[in-house]
């Protein structure tokens, strides 16, 4: 059956979300229709609103969520109606080069490539006012019901609180994994994290779990420092408090640079500062924030020639279908906390207020 439900549709860039009635088609072969129970707001969604991440319109955004399977298409074996699940914006088909490699996690079925906004068969499952509406990152969670490919959904512990573990769908896993999986932070090491939003704070948690002895949190909003310290930061610094470039401040603070740095904002100037602040010979810098469209980085190649490594990390380097159920199990075992990452809980019709809170750093 086609389901009629409410969704937050973005008709064009730089406009508020509009709560509309949409029609959600039934799942086709190897697809799953999910009733979304909780969704987080991520800066990547806002990048589409601002035009920094280019996507086709109209679109239903949202990619960090948890829900319950409503129905499944033909051939679906990994989940059944009633299962609690997390949609995966990085799918895991199990067959492409990245999925088959022990080093990779960016499945070729991802929506970050050429098929932006459509299901693998090149069509959409959403209609609004007679118009086709695009999907976002193969998930589209700002709606009461969504359809995802079977490779983009993970079954989780039925006892898990969906309003908390939805964060494992993006923000928490992305930051935590950047420290543990991508950088492979070692005990006793020194780390610097640029940007203390939900993902940056999750990097702080990952560095702490990995046994880093010094975790330096960097943000231009000092209101974020108390929470960063609560989660494991040993030092907090605001670039606005210094006259010299922040990478020089960090080099001095650490006697020659940090072992690991993380850029969790998505700005080219902070990406180069994060690279420059790590140790010149064996420092590793990880780009975690989504880079802005159509911007290039200019930097002195000597920064890399001396031995530094520059890496990117998507979804924390986790193989999504394998890792998400395990991360949920770890949360249930209290290996890590999620509550400090949740600042507000709003009814989803107040989605525009939620984005205002994100943009004002609250």
The answer to whether residues 261 and 335 belong to one domain is no
Nearest CA-CA partner of 95 in 107, 77, 79, 83? 107
Supply the CATH number for residue 263's domain: 3.40.50.720
Residues 34 and 162 in one domain: yes
CB atoms within 10 A of CB 23: 17
What is the arithmetic mean of pLDDT over 163-181? 97
- What predicted TM-score, i.e. pTM, was given to this entire model? 0.94
Residues 191 and 93 in one domain: no
196 and 340: one domain?
no
Instruction: Output the CA–CA distances (angstroms, integers) from residue 335 to 206, 270, 294, 320, 345, in the order listed.
Output: 11, 31, 39, 19, 23
Q: What is the pLDDT of residue 51?
A: 86
Q: Dump pLDDT digits (tens) for 213-267.
A: 999 999 999 999 999 999 999 999 999 999 999 999 999 999 999 999 999 999 9
Number of structural domains the chain divides into: 2
Q: Of these residues, 44, 151, 261, 320, which one is catalytic?
A: 44
Residue 177 lies in a domain: no
Same domain, 21 and 76: yes
Residue 354 maps to a domain? yes
At 115 the pLDDT is: 60
Q: Is residue 301 part of a domain?
A: yes
d(CA 56, CA 71): 27
Q: What is the pLDDT of residue 32?
A: 98
- Print the domain residue range for 267: 183-312
Q: In the predicted model, what is the mean pLDDT of residues 260-276?
A: 96
> What phi and psi values does residue 307 have, to the nearest 5 degrees?
125, -5
**Do 157 and 286 have their domain in common?**
no
Average pLDDT over residues 99-104: 95
CB 103 within 8 Å of CB 318: no
Which position among 5, 30, 42, 277 bears the catalytic label?
42
Q: Pick from 165, 197, 206: which is nearest to 66 by CA?
A: 165
Is there a catalytic annotation at residue 166?
A: no
Q: Which one is catalytic: 99, 107, 166, 170?
A: 170
| Catalytic status, residue 44 | yes
176 in a structural domain: no
Terminal C-alpha separation, the chain: 40
Our answer to whether residue 247 is catalytic in this structure is no
Residue 25 has pLDDT above 90, yes or no: yes
> Can you give the pLDDT at residue 113?
64
For residues 215 and 283, state if they share a domain: yes
Q: Are residues 290 and 199 in the same domain?
A: yes
What CATH code is carried by the domain that includes residue 140?
A: 3.90.180.10
Higher-confidence position of 295 and 200 = 200
pLDDT at 120: 86
Provide the pLDDT confidence category of residue 114 given band limits of 50, 70 and 90: low
- Residue-by-residue DSSP string for 230-270: HTT-SEEE-GGG-SS-HHHHHHHHHTS-BSEEEE-S--HHH
- Three-state DSSP at 208 gives helix
Catalytic: which of 47, 135, 149, 247?
47
Shared-domain flag, residues 60 and 8 = yes
Confidence of residue 321 (pLDDT cuts 50, 70, 90): very high
Considering 5, 63, 98, 207, which one is annotated as catalytic? 63
Q: Is 345 exposed, middle or buried (0-12, 13-18, 19+ CB in 10 A)?
A: exposed
- Whether residues 254 and 356 share a domain: the answer is no
Nearest to 250, CA basis, from 203, 201, 215:
215
Q: Is pLDDT above 80 for 94?
A: yes
330 shares a domain with 290: no
Residue 293 pLDDT > 80 = no
The residue-averaged pLDDT of 5-22 equals 96
What is the structure's pLDDT at 53? 84
């Amino acid at each position: 059956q086609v389901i009629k439900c409410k969704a937050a549709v973005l008709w064009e860039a730089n406009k508020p979300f509009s709560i509309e009635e949409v029609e959600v088609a039934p799942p086709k072969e190897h697809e799953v229709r999910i009733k979304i129970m909780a969704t987080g707001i991520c800066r990547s969604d806002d990048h589409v609103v601002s035009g920094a991440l280019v996507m086709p319109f109209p679109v239903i955004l949202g990619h960090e969520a948890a829900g319950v399977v409503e129905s499944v298409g033909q051939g679906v074996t990994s989940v059944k109606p009633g299962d609690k699940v997390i949609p995966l914006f990085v799918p895991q088909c199990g067959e492409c080069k990245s999925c088959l490699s022990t080093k990779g996690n960016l499945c070729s079925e991802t929506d970050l490539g050429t098929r932006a906004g459509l299901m693998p068969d090149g069509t959409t499952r959403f209609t609004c006012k007679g118009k086709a509406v695009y999907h976002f990152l193969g998930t589209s969670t700002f709606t009461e019901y969504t359809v995802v490919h079977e490779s983009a959904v993970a079954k989780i512990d039925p006892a898990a609180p969906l309003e908390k573990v939805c964060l494992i769908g993006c923000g928490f896993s992305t930051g935590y994994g950047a420290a543990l999986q991508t950088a492979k932070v070692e005990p006793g090491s020194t780390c610097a994290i640029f940007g203390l939003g939900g993902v940056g704070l999750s990097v702080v948690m990952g560095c702490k779990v990995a046994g880093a002895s010094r975790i330096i949190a960097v943000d231009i909003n000092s209101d974020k420092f108390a929470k960063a310290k609560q989660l494991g930061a040993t030092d907090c610094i605001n670039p606005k408090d210094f006259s010299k470039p922040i990478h020089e401040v960090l080099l001095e603070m650490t006697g020659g640079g940090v072992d690991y740095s993380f850029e969790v904002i998505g700005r080219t100037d902070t990406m180069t500062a994060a690279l420059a602040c790590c140790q010149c010979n064996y420092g590793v810098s990880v780009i975690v924030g989504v880079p802005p469209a159509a911007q290039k980085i200019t930097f002195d190649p000597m920064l890399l020639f001396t031995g530094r490594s520059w890496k990117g990390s998507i979804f924390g380097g986790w193989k999504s279908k394998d890792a998400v159920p395990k991360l949920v199990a770890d949360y249930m075992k209290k290996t890590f906390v999620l509550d400090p990452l949740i600042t507000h809980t709003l009814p989803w019709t107040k989605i525009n207020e939620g984005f205002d809170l994100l943009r004002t750093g609250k």
